[in-house]
Structure 1
Amino acid sequence: MKLKYIALLLFASGFTACNDIEDVSREEAETTFPEFTTGDVDFSNYIAVGGSFTAGYTDGALFKAGQENSFPNMLASIFTLAEGGDFKQPLMNDNIGGFLLNGVVAASPRLYFDIASSSPKVLNATPSTEITSPVNGPFNNYGIPGLKSFHLGFSGYGMLNPYFGRMTSSPQTATVLGEAVAQNPTFFTLSEIGGNDVLSYALAGGDGTDQTGNPNPATYQGNDITDPNVFAASFNAAVTALTTNGAKGVVTNVPYVKDLPHFTTVPYNPIPLDAATAAYLNSASAYGAYNAGITQAFAYLVANNLMSQADANTEISKRTITFEASESNAVVIMDESLTDLTSLNAALISIRQATADDLIVLTASNFIGTEAVAGNPQTVNGVAIPLADKWVLTPEEQTSIKTATDAYNATIASVVNNNDNLALVDLNTTLSQLATTGVIFDDFILKANLATGGAISLDGVHLTARGYAYLANKFLEAIDIAFGSNFTESGNVLKAGDYPTNYSPALQ
């Protein structure tokens, strides 16, 4: 009997591509601003250090317009009021995004919102940036996509990360922190340090290792969670180096990944089934046999005093797979936290149906419902074929991420509280507000909803230009509070309407 599968419609009709002016009334009133004061800060040489947010990464790529709308570049434009100097960035060659490696496309072009299909699409163009071709520095923006905390002082990081390799004259020996400190900053931002230390694990659906307790990052794989003590040592070293000559700066903490639409957009139950297909899936020819097998296996474990009856009942309930005639059946997933029964029966792999507590990664929207064997509807991924670990963040994996994030943020808070030269932007709270209530930014309400919220770009992780402008204003607020300037009170802030939420596909 053939399975019937209706394609997952992630982006439903009525889906819009811009953050329109909300139905909120704001009376235009003449405002008198006080005279601008710089406070106790020297902005003459501003250096930004951080990950992809600092670089201006958006819509799944790094490209010129995104870099020009990076929050550090926005801040630098405001700092000119306070005798801030030039701000040089390692710009890509085009607005296509992605890059070439020895002439071959190695990173895909950016995403754009396709109105005809009401969904994000990859720009149909070929990048012109050859990532092995160096650009002339030194630079003010050391925002490096993919940067983890322990990479800051890693000698030869340019050989591992082509974004940094492109912008340093010594990819075999240079460190990100060394390059930044060599510019002798008078003011700096140190942003999203720690973000990639958990985000790479999250983007891989937890298909990595929580390295908490392992102090040797040389043994880590790319998608592992960084040990909090390794993070603490790296973060402290960065702050010490950047403030050595008395420079003041602003740091951010790490947001929770659950506040990003990359992990909240795809529902756990997107499978539409008719009655006949549901009945087949529940029969002894399909999951009915699996359900009977796990019941028998747990009965064996209980009878041999290897498991309590209560624990067996709990796991049987969790692992029993059933479908119904409905538009919203849960996908079937692998779950390595379940009891391994394969020694009793090789067919009893560790699978269950997803629940609302699981987070399905955004990229799974293009995979769920496809056929593992083309032309065979009985091999539908997410139904007959369970989703692999990389597509789902289970509650256990989410706990590992949150525990590490909380440890990183405790370190950051302690460092800030003990250093008068530092101010803090609470990026964690900001992302939480975007994901829940939304935030008012001039005549707009920014939210974290994918494509419609205005704050998060089409990749579900990085900000839009308008989102970066809002973040830049948060930096200005922090500078005012900590160092006595009055950027906000004097009206010297970024305006929402000056920055887009989407880039046209014509922009190349």
Structure 2
Amino acid sequence: MKKNIKMLLLVSLTFMAACNNDDNNAPEEVPVTPGSAVLTKYVALGDSFAAGYSDNALFKKGQENSYVNILAQQFVAAGGGAFTQPLMNDNIGGLLLGGNVVAGTRLYFNGQAPVNVSGKPTTEITSHLTGTFNNMGVPGAKSYHLVAPGYGNVAGVATGAANPYFARFSSSATTTVLADAVAQAPTFFSLFIGGNDVLSYATSGGIGKDQTGNMNPATYGSNDITDPTVFKTIYSNLVTALTANGAKGVVANLPYITTLPYFTTVPYNPAPLTAALATQLNAGYAAYNGGLQQMVEKKLLSADEAARRTINFKTGNNAVVVVDSYLTNLSAYGIPSYRQATKEDLVVLSARTFIGTTVGGDPTKVNGLSVPLADNWVLTKDEVNEVKKATDAYNIAIKAIADEKGLAFVNTVSTMTQLSSGGVRFGNFVMSSTYVTGGAFSLDGVHPSARGYGLIANIFIDAINEKYGSTLRHVDLAQYPIQYPATLP
């Protein structure tokens, strides 16, 4: 018995020694250092992504989980200083102008669908914030807005001449976003801008104009695509001003809209039909189809286009009918520009509650079927190509300017594409761009969730570490929620 006890004691001591030996040989954690970056004064420029916009609103918790605020928290261990943000008054979201609601409350998922949280916004635009703010992210801003005097003028908000979010914290009515950023003498900056230069065109279903060739942004409409040369010039001016005093920084390119759930959630063929309904609808479009054939016979329309425009329903799932302004205009002959959607068209997220509804309660007038979807509900393949062409041009400019100025460069195109084609794995989790359940995007289908912003912060950190030899650490994505509840403190 004593011999067995001695043997057990020997085994125990040997095991403890092995454990101690393992601890001694374990690799030491690399200390956090800034490398050649100076992080003491960090200023972030950008749009809604930088601001922390999420679930179709800006609210305090979303701002706290913005990727730039997450970055600032990680910078602290490497000498980063205080980071201030123009926080909203509440977690309801939305804005008031003179007491009137001009921006709605945030969304939450009630178990069946996204709905707005209850309550009225309490953030009043005219209640101006004083002081300087490290987070200069402005929801809705396009590239040229960052250098536009008066963009923060409260008096211009009602007419659309100024931005309500910047009006809350601009240093004066005539300043620019860039001027307020440079005035803080940053030692390090981030710049993620340009998404809205194509996004507003895309989310509106192409209700706007491709301004390629127009060098005067003052003549652009709110939903227009920015000319690539204008973008390049503005972007170069932004970076030149930010680096003038030796500041270093990180910039990011722009993801394709085809990776956003706003454009990928609603299928082009969401309409299940019985044989009887298909027959009924085909009868309704018989005159239209016949008119197309008459135009072919008169040599006013090619046979190929006539085939693409011919509307034919069948039993099972069917493509919606859309208005397509890129088709040959036959309105002089009483023939509208209709066709059925294809997989190359992108039906916008907001159409999910519109397709299948009736006009005035008339069961014979069904939106998307007997009543074609207007342009604002669908980004057609030609409009998708316009957006892609502009995005590619912007991204070429961003990369070239980053290389010229020696800045860290973040390839968001790669990450967003991965999210939409299999997902990104971390720990025991996988996050993807799948609407509601994927975890990467919020309920508006465009802006990231808190976890999505954490992912953006991590890829920014990777770029900074690679360029400047810093050893900043990732954040644990599992600590960030994929959805916010109805009630937040």
> TM-score under structure 2 normalisation?
0.91
Secondary structure, aligned partner of 1:343: helix
User: 1:460-505, CA deviations, whole angstroms, 9 ceiling, x for partnerless residues?
Assistant: 1111111111111111111111111112xxxx32111211110000
Residues 1:133 and 2:127 aligned together? yes
1:433 CA displacement = 0.8
> Conserved in 1, the CA contact under 8 Å of 2:171 and 2:180?
no
Instruction: Write the letter of the residue equivalent to 1:428.
Output: V
**Unaligned residue ranges in structure 1 (runs of 5+):** 1-29
1:280 aligns with 2:280: yes
Gaps spanning 5+ residues in structure 2: where?
A: 1-25, 157-161
5 Å matches for 1:444-463?
444-463=429-448
Partner of 1:146: 140
Aligned to 2:4: none
- State the partner residue of 1:295: 293
Residue 347 of structure 2, aligned match among 350, 360, 372: 360
- TM-score (norm: length of structure 1): 0.88
Bigger shift: residues 360-369 or 219-228 = 360-369
1:36 to 24, 32, 35: 32
Q: Find the partner of 1:405 among 387, 391, 405.
A: 391
Structure 1 contact 134–169 (Cα < 8 Å) conserved: no
**Hey, what's the Cα distance between the residues in 1 that align with 2:343 and 2:405?**
42
Q: Distance in 2 between matches of 1:459 and 1:214?
A: 31
CA distance in structure 2 between the aligned counterparts of 1:235 and 1:214, rounded to whole angstroms: 17
Task: For 2:357, give the aligned amino acid.
Answer: T
State the 1:358 CA deviation.
0.7
Question: Is 2:375 the partner of 1:377?
Answer: no
CA-based RMSD of the aligned residues comes to 1.4
Partner of 2:10: none
Determine what percentage of the aligned residue pairs are the same residue. Answer: 53
1:3 corresponds in structure 2 to none
Q: Quick one: distance in 1 between partners of 2:291 and 2:165?
A: 51
Mapped contact 1:442–1:495 kept (Cα < 8 A): no
Show CA shifts across 1:394-444 (max 9, x none). 111011101100000000111111122x11011111111111121122332
The reply to whether residue 391 of structure 1 matches residue 372 of structure 2 is no
CA distance in 2, matches of 1:106, 1:183: 31
Structure 1 residue aligned with 2:329: 340
Q: More helix per residue: 1 or 2? A: 2
Name the amino acid aligned to 2:292.
I
Q: Structure 1: which 4+ aligned runs deviate by more than 4 Å?
A: none
Q: Pick the aligned partner of 1:108 from 61, 83, 104.
A: 104
Residue of 135, 156, 171 corresponding to 1:169:
171
CA distance in 2, matches of 1:404, 1:296: 38
The residue type paired with residue 213 of structure 1 is: G
Q: Secondary structure at the match of 2:43?
A: strand
CA-to-partner distance for each residue in 1:219-251, whole Å, 9 max, x for gaps?
A: 100000000000001100000000011000000
Q: CA–CA distance in 1 between the matches of 2:478 and 2:417?
A: 23
After the TM superposition, which residues 69-468 of structure 1 pair with which residues of structure 2 at under 5 Å, given as runs? 69-115=65-111, 117=112, 119-158=113-152, 159=156, 160-171=162-173, 173-191=174-192, 193-283=193-283, 286-300=284-298, 302=299, 306=300, 312-326=302-316, 328-344=317-333, 346=334, 348-373=335-360, 375-420=361-406, 422-468=407-453
Q: What corresponds to 2:159 in structure 1? A: none
Counterpart Cα distance in 1 of 2:85 and 2:269: 44
Q: Secondary structure at the match of 1:157?
A: coil
Deviation at residue 31 of structure 1 after TM alignment? 6.4
**Does the 8 Å CA contact 1:466/1:499 hold for their aligned counterparts?**
yes
CA 1:31 to 1:206, structure 2 compared with 1: closer, same or farther past 3 Å? farther
Conservation of the 8 A alpha-carbon contact between 1:146 and 1:196: yes
TM-aligned CA distance change 1:103 to 1:298, over 3 Å: same
Residue in structure 2 matched with residue 7 of structure 1 by the alignment: none
Name the CA distance, whole Å, in 2 between partners of 1:94 and 1:493: 29
* Structure with larger Rg: 2
Deviation at 1:376, TM superposition (A): 0.8
